[in-house]
């Protein structure tokens, strides 16, 4: 595997991890919003 391919793999990996974290954060955010009064959310 040459350098370019390796970088591409890392980018794809980073992106998938980032997307997963983003969705987890959004899901937690939704749960949090529903359990908190709307006034607290900035």
- As given in the structure block, the two tokens for residue 13 are 């990996």
CA distances 33 to 13, 21, 29, Å, are: 30, 18, 6
Contact 12, 4 (CB under 8 A): no
Task: Give the pTM.
Answer: 0.47
CA distance linking residue 38 with residue 8, whole number of Å: 42
The angle formed by the CA atoms of residues 36, 19 and 28, to the nearest 5 degrees, is 15
Rounded Cα–Cα distance for residues 29 and 10 (Å): 28
The predicted pLDDT at position 25 comes to: 86
pLDDT in tens, 1-42: 688 998 998 888 888 888 888 888 888 888 777 776 655 555
């Amino acid at each position: 595997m040459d350098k370019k391919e390796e970088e591409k793999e890392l980018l794809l990996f980073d992106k998938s991890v980032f997307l997963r974290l983003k969705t987890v954060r959004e899901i937690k955010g939704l749960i949090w919003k529903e359990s908190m009064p709307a006034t607290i959310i900035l």
